[in-house]
Chain A
Amino acid sequence: MIWGTLRLVREGFSLDVRFDMPGQGLTALFGHSGSGKSTWLRCLGGLERGQGRVRIGDTCWQDDKVGIFVPAHRRPIGYVFQEASLFPHLNVRANLLYGWRRIDPQQRRVGLDEVVEWLGLSRLLARRPEGLSGGERQRVAIGRALLTSPELLLMDEPMAALDAEAKAEIMPYLEALHRRLSIPVIYVTHAVEEVARLADHMVQLRDGRVIAEGNALELLSGLHQQPAAGEEPGAVIEARIAAHDDVHHLTQLSLAGGLGLLAPRLASGEGGMVRVRIPAREVSLSLDVPQGSSILNILPGRIVATAEGDPGRVLVQLELEGVYGPGPRLLSRISRYSWDLLGLAEGMRVQAQVKSMGLARDDG
């Protein structure tokens, strides 16, 4: 749907990518700083010019062979920059309407009231940008971009300039983008938890080249995943909230295949979808179901693959087996010694003990 090739060479840096991204859902462009993801996004937006071709559906935005280059202001995109970049000489309302005013009235599918209500901006409309907090500014920036009724939303590390509090404030809105928008979103980030929470599809870059691409959950849970610096390998799985146990402050989650997980009390209501991230070091293996353990989550699975980790460690990928069929895949990191001691091998059935997990996404 969004496909093409782009090449760009600069001092000390080069981008060379071929892409074909889905026409719906959120695609994350993930990588370290300097990996080329922002440059790529800017080229898609027409803010920078690489060499190659860019097509969205049937429309061609760039084709060097034929001499086509549609300038940024003629591409039906919405762009959210890292630092909001609201116009300081306009108040919030005027900022929001800046793009809206410039599109053909026939093309307007998104209205001001809608955006204001959804992003909680009604109290801010008369204010000036300089008086707003980082989170508020970014919400206005998102609203402003959406009000151009774009066919594609481009977001360039929208959370990077925010502190933890502002991030927590904005995240629900971004998670809800999924449900709200039928247009594709391309989201640039270096933070894996943002990918885990938001992305459907993922493209990972290093030094201007694509090193991994595919379904976000699968890639994030893959055996040969490339975690960012300081990150641990782990698995991200989707689950539905089955019930809450307020007495014990626990939430029952149901996974694919009929499996269940007990998590600390989550905020969302019953029936909501969440994503949880389970680091490999939190998963230990045993041959039998251990008795008298304090670990609540013990799930049956089958070892499908292994990989060498740090010296003396091995990363094991196992596919959980549910009553109704296969469940999600998990990663477990154990010592080589344990592997040998238990006589483990690919294809063997084991019990996975999940000590703790982190919440990746809460759709409420």
Chain B
Amino acid sequence: MTGVVSPADWAPVALTLKLALVTTAILLVLGTPLAWWLARTKSRLKAGIEAAVALPVVLPPTVMGFYLIVLLGPHGWIGGPWESLGWPRLVFSFPGMVIGSVLYSLPFAVQPLTQSFAVLGDRPLEVAASLRSSPWDRFFTVVLPLSRPGLLTATVLAFAHTVGEFGVVLMVGGNIPGRTQVVSTAIYDHVEMMEYPQAYGLSAAMVAFAFLVLLVLYTLNGRTGARP
């Protein structure tokens, strides 16, 4: 009987970290302009877009996963044309899991950011404009620093939410060991195989890691003196 955590168990850990980092990065890059627009627009589309963004919060993950593999799979509205262009299959691959994770964690990144931007108001931007700051410059030198708590919250939530993801990533990834198996689905496998020591070990490691990440980030937040 091999040790509680075998070398093979590191593969899902590495994949989970990679998935969480890539997903969080994408959510910050795409989510920030979206959140900015939502915070400031008076368009009639706002309510609809907000509802769409919030959808993953209420959709059961397996349902979401199912719709995603239908949409992105070889017969899907997106997957079909995609593959006929000769591009590699989206489902049951890392890119597919990233797409699933991005959609699944979208509200957890966008909502804190939107809130943070809305609270800012117009004044800091007007002040910056009166001090020769162009729109892009204003965004990076005034909006982002003043939105640090919101950015931190969005990052933490997106990261932690992706690490903890199960239903979506199981469906879209296929839980193939060494390729699309993440920590949560690896734990599921161990439980199914009644390999409880490994299941406990991996779960404990996951909880410890998540706690550590949160601790570090909230300490940083506290040190800047800013409260979300």
A289 to chain B, nearest CB (A): 56
Report A-chain residues with C-beta under 8 Å of the C-beta of B131: 73, 98-99, 102, 144-145, 148
Candidates B124, B132, B142; contact of A99 at CB < 8 Å: B132
Candidates B137, B142, B146; contact of A102 at CB < 8 Å: B137
Report A-chain residues with C-beta under 8 Å of the C-beta of B123: 81, 83, 85
Alpha-carbon separation in the docked complex, A79 to B130 (Å): 6
Alpha-carbon separation in the docked complex, A78 to B130 (Å): 6
Alpha-carbon separation in the docked complex, A85 to B120 (Å): 12
Alpha-carbon separation in the docked complex, A77 to B145 (Å): 25
CB of A89 within 8 A of CB of B146, answer yes
Check A72/B130 contact, CB under 8 A, given A85-B123, A102-B137: yes
Report B-chain residues with C-beta under 8 Å of the C-beta of A74: 132
Check A102/B132 contact, CB under 8 A, given A85-B124, A88-B146, A89-B146: yes
Interface bits B116-140 vs A (CB < 8 Å: 1, else 0)? 0000000110111111111101100
CB of A47 within 8 A of CB of B126, answer yes
Candidates B129, B137, B146, B148; contact of A72 at CB < 8 Å: B129
Report A-chain residues with C-beta under 8 Å of the C-beta of B127: 79, 81, 85, 87
Alpha-carbon separation in the docked complex, A12 to B160 (Å): 49
Does A296 make an interface contact (CB < 8 A)? no
A338 to chain B, nearest CB (A): 54
Interface bits A83-99 vs B (CB < 8 Å: 1, else 0)? 10101110000000011
Report A-chain residues with C-beta under 8 Å of the C-beta of B128: 73, 87, 98
CB of A145 within 8 A of CB of B142, answer no
Alpha-carbon separation in the docked complex, A73 to B136 (Å): 11
Report A-chain residues with C-beta under 8 Å of the C-beta of B142: 87
CB of B137 within 8 A of CB of A45, answer no
Identify which of B124, B126, B131, B141 gathers the most chain A CB atoms within 10 Å of its CB.
B131
Report A-chain residues with C-beta under 8 Å of the C-beta of B134: 73
Alpha-carbon separation in the docked complex, A46 to B133 (Å): 13
Report B-chain residues with C-beta under 8 Å of the C-beta of A72: 126, 129-130
B223 to chain A, nearest CB (A): 14
CB of A73 within 8 A of CB of B133, answer yes
Interface bits A142-161 vs B (CB < 8 Å: 1, else 0)? 00110010000000000000
Alpha-carbon separation in the docked complex, A45 to B148 (Å): 29
Does A71 make an interface contact (CB < 8 A)? yes
The size class of the interface chain B forms with chain A is 10 to 19
A139 to chain B, nearest CB (A): 16
Chain A, range 85-120, C-beta contacts under 8 Å to B:
85, 87-89, 98-99, 102-103
Alpha-carbon separation in the docked complex, A338 to B137 (Å): 68
Alpha-carbon separation in the docked complex, A194 to B228 (Å): 40
Candidates A87, A88, A145; contact of B130 at CB < 8 Å: A145
B227 to chain A, nearest CB (A): 12
Chain B, range 168-193, C-beta contacts under 8 Å to A:
none
Alpha-carbon separation in the docked complex, A99 to B133 (Å): 7
A87 to chain B, nearest CB (A): 7
CB of B132 within 8 A of CB of A148, answer yes
Report B-chain residues with C-beta under 8 Å of the C-beta of A79: 126-127, 130
Report B-chain residues with C-beta under 8 Å of the C-beta of A77: 130
Alpha-carbon separation in the docked complex, A83 to B122 (Å): 13
- CB-CB nearest in chain A for B138: A73
Check A73/B124 contact, CB under 8 A, given A87-B142, A89-B145, A89-B146: no
Report B-chain residues with C-beta under 8 Å of the C-beta of A103: 132
CB of B130 within 8 A of CB of A45, answer yes
Report A-chain residues with C-beta under 8 Å of the C-beta of B141: 98
Check A71/B132 contact, CB under 8 A, given A81-B123, A85-B124, A89-B145: no
CB of A73 within 8 A of CB of B126, answer no
Alpha-carbon separation in the docked complex, A99 to B146 (Å): 18
- A sample of 9 inter-chain contacts (CB < 8 A) reads A73-B131, A73-B132, A79-B126, A87-B128, A98-B131, A99-B131, A99-B132, A103-B132, A145-B131
Give me 20 other A-B pairs in contact (C-beta within 8 A), A73-B133, A98-B128 excluded. A46-B129, A47-B126, A71-B129, A72-B129, A72-B130, A73-B130, A73-B131, A73-B135, A73-B138, A81-B126, A81-B127, A83-B123, A85-B124, A89-B148, A98-B131, A99-B131, A102-B133, A145-B130, A145-B131, A148-B132
Measured CB to CB, the residues of B under 8 A from A are 123-124, 126-135, 137-138, 141-142, 145-146, 148
